[in-house]
A and B are shown apart, each in its own frame.
Chain A
Amino acid sequence: MSEKPSYDPKAFKEFEHAGWERSAANYHDLFGRLTAQTNEAILGRVDARTDVRFLDAPCGTGELAGAAAKRGARVTGLDFSATMLADARGRHPDLEFRQGDAENLPFENAAFDAVSCQFGLRHFPDPGKAIAEAFRVLAPGGRYAYTDWCPPGISTFFQIIMDAAKAPGDASAPLPEGPSVSRLSDPDESRRTLAAAGFEETEAVELPVELRCGDPRYVLDIIYKSIVRTRGLLEAQPPEAREKIEQAILEGAESHRKDGEIVLTLPALMASGRKP
């Protein structure tokens, strides 16, 4: 689990940070609608209820934080993007937000009863460090849950993108490489990772997430306006290659039209554990 990264963590972090600053304005209305479908499962798993000290890191535009507050939890949201936080604060003026780094949490040991990381780990240079930090700031008995996207094969959304990326024939995009994401959404690997970090009662369950739209261009909107790594892949292509990929995404999405509506599945894996 502790092999040396084959990528430059600093370049990856800068790429991610710049990307999220750019996606903040549209995140809530586009990709945020998908991630929010896992809110209740996460909050149930970490037992976010009245007076529970709850940390969401990264909190993005604050949807999960807001849902936790509705359950009565004492909520703190943390994100590394000032633009995301400004949006979060506008939507949830009564909640507490901190700008910070989930791999170096600015909190004392045992400060929270529940910690979540909703689709955040794949964006960190060192996901293991973020899990270790979550463990540190949890009080004994506290619960942690993270979600990550299931891979192509399980996910029609990511299958379409992966197939489309092959459309130009030679997809060799000079993206800053990041951590491997396959491990995070594998049920056994995720439980092993959490157990190695010290968690007990580990669990890994698949959560359904669906994207429904009438126009396949909505899928391109999501990619270009509200997420980071896939957009980076597309923008790194020469114009003709990019056009081919876009066309293949549109056709791929269209092939999932049923009763007049395009329905793509993008299930999430939720992995969780309890601090002894």
Chain B
Amino acid sequence: MARTLAEKVWDDHVVRRAEGEPDLLFIDLHLLHEVTSPQAFDGLRKNGRRVRRTDLTLATEDHNTPTTDIDKPIADPVSRTQLETLRKNCADFGVRLHPLGDVEQGVVHVVGPQLGLTQPGTTVVCGDSHTSTHGAFGALAFGIGTSQVEHVLATQTLPLAPFRTMAVTVEGELPEDVTAKDLILAVIARIGTGGGQGYVIEYRGAAVEKLSMEARMTICNMSIEAGARAGMIAPDETTFTYLEGRDHAPDGADWDAAVEYWKTLRTDDEAVFDHEVVIDAAELAPFVTWGTNPGQGAPLGQAVPDPSSFADAGSRYAAEKALEYMGLTAGQPLREIPVDTVFVGSCTNGRIEDLRAAASVLAGREVAEGVRMLVVPGSVRVSLQAVEEGLDRVFTAAGAEWRHAGCSMCLGMNPDQLKPGERAASTSNRNFEGRQGKGGRTHLVSPQVAAATAVLGRLASPADLADVPTLVEA
């Protein structure tokens, strides 16, 4: 029978199938971080269980880690305890850990792919909803809760309810100033934050095939913001080229066998998806959010919508609440919204390509007076690469702060937070109330829009900088 990509990967991981029960799936890669794992290790201890496959498990420190003064003890005692707990748990149970200060440390979803651990056709889980990122490689990757983390640690499997399949086909070619971030924000605005619920979304079509691995990760990363179980993109030459030679990529005869298998990981021509969405790439434009969920977004050229324009009562009420929280009024052009903070980073847009994009806009220009811009690489490797390319100097010359790797202001568990009422243009993935700090207001944007916004001090795209001369040569 013709099958979709997701169904193929699923079928290849069924350990046990029985009538009336969820399938038991094998997990190829289990990633851990300090926030969602302590209670799981506790559960193992209580029941006298061990980690079944330490060779398929990897931990990093990311959510709580500071992005300045990383050689000093962590000031917040609770954050420190959580990191120390992870270190103890990994030591006790034999789990490989990349702690703060290690060259492989970074946001878990940046680290897995760059080590070559995230591979096509594998199942990847982590106690973190943005595990969907890894689907960019044609892996079936999804976030799990702490009880499931404990379950995977103990058994390397998960009983999973069946999913439905959705195809998001992006036809044509993306306009030059439109990025993967704009594309996924537009998709979420179209299908809604609950629109992907129960589905694994496969992104396909000419525009997707042309994207780099970084851009594909940005898209799959935000699948969860549409409520989807996972996002996937079929592996192709771009995927293989990215993987070849990485630390944990197969080599020699294994590489050939792997590539041969990976090439079979495509949705069959006759396969039928449960739901299909088609998007014309040519119609897309730089996109920003105006509300407090990632579905509340619009092209930058538009204005803050009038809540009464929403047909359904729930959306109307949600929009009213959002405008109140965001301190915006209906009809206000999005381009006229001033910001005081710009954040470039996170597992959505904290990779080398994202930093290059932001730097290319910022090169020779200056961050506007009164605006604080934080640039936080997704991992230490990304950071080192950026330094090698001189990107850090572009940022600091423009007046931005160049920080150490981690989740940082994406969720503000470390000291990088918005103060009440502060407004940020952020390349992260969630604009929920208080996400980046109590009372903080977030507009989700691409790295290019973030950089242009930093220069003008209001939401802007690189095209708006045509009249801003570059001061010095980059």
A and B: interacting chains = no
B→A interface (CB under 8 Å): none
